[in-house]
């Protein structure tokens, strides 16, 4: 009676390892995109929370607002684009602006997020991705141009 070895050959093991490596690489890239997208969305939402404080200040006739008056607390992802995040004119138009940095993914670090207000009180979002490392359209938060 013959006895056969029952196991995997070296070639079969190498093929399995190669397949697992390819899947791990794809998963890592998708995860990095997910992290970058969620960081941009988070920064946008954090900035949008200050719209109500701006509206309150504007309704009282105050167009100059410091970060402390708005209650702005920079997160580990954002920094004020220039001094104060709010820049408004006497007519009520202006914008809230931050730049991604700090612990932000290198894919989106340097992205400038601006939420602007028109004189009639309509808010619009604009994202300048020219400073980002490797911007992709999927990183754009919903409602932004």
Q: Report pLDDT digits (tens) over 100-140.
A: 988 999 999 999 999 999 999 999 999 998 888 888 889 99
pLDDT digits (tens, 9 = 90+) for 38-51: 999 999 999 999 99
| CATH code of residue 90 | 3.30.700.10
Question: Is 41 among the domain residues?
Answer: yes
pLDDT > 90: what percent of the chain? 65
Question: Is 1 among the domain residues?
Answer: no
**pTM of this structure:** 0.82
Question: Is 4 among the domain residues?
Answer: no
Lookup: tokens for 24: 């791990």
Distance CA 145, CA 143 (A): 7
Q: Which domain holds residue 56?
A: 10-139
Say which DSSP state 10 is in.
Answer: H
Question: Is 55 among the domain residues?
Answer: yes
For the chain, the domain total comes to 1
Question: Is 74 among the domain residues?
Answer: yes
């Amino acid at each position: 009676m013959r006895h056969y070895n029952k196991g995997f050959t070296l070639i079969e093991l190498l093929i399995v390892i190669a397949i697992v490596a390819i899947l791990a690489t794809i998963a890592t890239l998708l995860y990095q995109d997910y992290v970058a997208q969620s960081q941009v969305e988070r920064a946008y939402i954090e900035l949008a929370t200050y719209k109500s404080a701006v509206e309150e200040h504007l309704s009282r006739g105050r167009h100059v607002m410091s970060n402390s008056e708005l209650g702005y607390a920079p997160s580990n992802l954002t920094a004020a684009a220039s001094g104060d995040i709010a820049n408004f004119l006497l007519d009520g138009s202006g914008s809230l602006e931050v730049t991604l940095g700090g612990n932000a993914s290198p894919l989106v670090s340097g992205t400038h997020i601006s939420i602007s207000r028109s004189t009639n009180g309509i808010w619009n979002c604009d994202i300048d991705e020219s400073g980002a490392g490797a911007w992709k359209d999927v990183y754009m938060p919903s409602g932004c141009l």
